[in-house]
Amino acid sequence: MPERRGGPEADGPPRTSTAKAGTAPDADDPRKPESPAELTKPTWRYIAGRTFREFGKDQCPDAAAGLTYYGVLSLFPALLALVSLLGIVGQAGPMTMALFDIVRGIAPGATVDTIRQPIEELTTSPASGFTLVIGLLTALWSASGYVGAFSRVMNRVYEVDEGRGFLRLRATMLGVTVLGIVIAAVIAAALALSGPVADGIGKALGLGGDLLAVWGIAKWPVVVLLVIVIIAVLYYATPNVKQPRFRWMSIGSFVAFLVFVLASLGFGFYVANFANYNKTYGAIGGVIVMLLWLWILNMSLLFGAELDAEMERGRELQAGLDAEDAIQLPPRGTKRSAKEQQQDKEARSYARTVRGHDDRAGRRPPRGRAFGPKNTD
């Protein structure tokens, strides 16, 4: 991550993970307000204004476009993993269709049509146990690409570089991916427990119709809560910062979900009544609609992430911490950051060697490692 203007010696709190490791206070510093209710009105005004400024300053619309690219690459592997997981209990078809019903309710119809056919083929294709396991592992690895990209954007949001080593970082991204897919499977199961499926389970368990009727209403708050939990896990685990204790529902994750639902409904209304993407783009009109919908999703996620980050900054400022220029949270890891700083130091040393030789004698720089530790001055 580039240093701020003025170089590494500039005034203000540090931004590199190696520097923050020695200066940032504990994530749960007792001086910080514990709940949003303890934040003052000036703090809330500051948080609201800075959230919008940082959303533009961090180029979140462009970052959302990049996440959309990774999302498309990861979408079908993630769905394959989800279908494979549901297939273990023999309910891949009904549960997958239940998820499609939810997506159809908030997304443009062209988006559902674009992904429906390949997923239906996945739910009906037979696979041996070994093939299922290999396919599931491969799908999880591919799907984690989106989580990795989201992690890099979150580091920008929290103003820190990546310090975790390769193995630790990949393990974290895979863990978040697996957890997200498992929660998605639980959501699919909750949605599928209605109609004939619920009646069959109710009779098998000896449950009355009244209980199933209550579940038909109660499942929607459960589904919303589980979706918000997925977002909260993304916000908590992906950046290279030790955040305050995990909250199942952060304000940022709730706002991200709310913004996404409202924006999706508005976009769906626009597509259904005003736009004609099939006429403009022909056969790929449905694909374009899906890409725009995924872009809206990622914009919503990044706005919620910025809100959570600025709430942490507001907590630190109200506690008297120096967080005007950089959020002060300790990093999860510094190994990679330290290695990159050493490489940058060697590169600067070699650059001075090149400049010195050219200035003194007009000679070409010495041959050898471009960024090695040796200095021939």
The whole-angstrom separation of Cα 165 and Cα 50 is 31
Buried b (16+ CB within 10 A) or exposed e, 161-196: bbbbeeeebeebbbebbbbbbeebbebbbbbbbbee
Tell whether the model's pLDDT for residue 43 goes beyond 90.
Answer: yes
What distance lies between CA 334 and its chain's CA centroid? Answer: 21
pLDDT of the residue at 80:
74
pLDDT averaged over every residue in the chain: 80
Summarize pLDDT for 108-129 with one digit per residue, the tens: 666 666 667 666 666 666 654 5
One-letter identity of residue 78: A
pLDDT of the residue at 244:
85
Summarize pLDDT for 131-189 with one digit per residue, the tens: 567 767 877 888 899 999 999 999 999 999 999 999 999 999 999 999 988 888 888 77
Mean pLDDT on 94-98: 67
At 32 the three-state DSSP class reads coil
Q: Where are the beta strands (DSSP E) in 254-344?
A: none
Check residue 187 and report its DSSP letter.
H
Check residue 38 and report its DSSP letter.
G
pLDDT of the residue at 283:
75
The whole-angstrom separation of Cα 188 and Cα 98 is 6
- 104 phi and psi angles, rounded to 5 deg: -65, -30
The whole-angstrom separation of Cα 28 and Cα 35 is 12
Q: What is the pTM of this model?
A: 0.80
Summarize pLDDT for 252-289 with one digit per residue, the tens: 999 999 999 999 899 888 888 877 777 778 778 888 88
pLDDT band of residue 7 (cuts 50, 70, 90) is: very low
pLDDT band of residue 8 (cuts 50, 70, 90) is: very low
pLDDT of the residue at 123:
64
DSSP letter string, 76-144: HHHHHHHHHHHHHTT-HHHHHHHHHHHHHHHS-HHHHHHHHHHHHHHHHS---HHHHHHHHHHHHHHHH
Tell whether the model's pLDDT for residue 334 goes beyond 70.
Answer: yes
16 dihedral zone (left: phi>0; alpha: psi -120 to 50; beta): beta
Tell whether the model's pLDDT for residue 241 goes beyond 70.
Answer: yes
Percent of the chain past pLDDT 90, that is, above it, reads 36
Summarize pLDDT for 173-205 with one digit per residue, the tens: 999 999 988 888 888 777 766 655 566 656 656
The answer to whether the Cα torsion of 241, 243, 249, 255 is positive or negative is negative
Tell whether the model's pLDDT for residue 303 goes beyond 70.
Answer: yes
The whole-angstrom separation of Cα 262 and Cα 297 is 11
The whole-angstrom separation of Cα 268 and Cα 110 is 9
- Angle, alpha carbons 293-312-261 (nearest 5°): 20
Q: List CB contacts of 101: < 8 A, sequence separation 6 or more.
A: 191
Tell whether the model's pLDDT for residue 102 goes beyond 90.
Answer: no
Buried b (16+ CB within 10 A) or exposed e, 135-148: bbeebbebbbbbbb
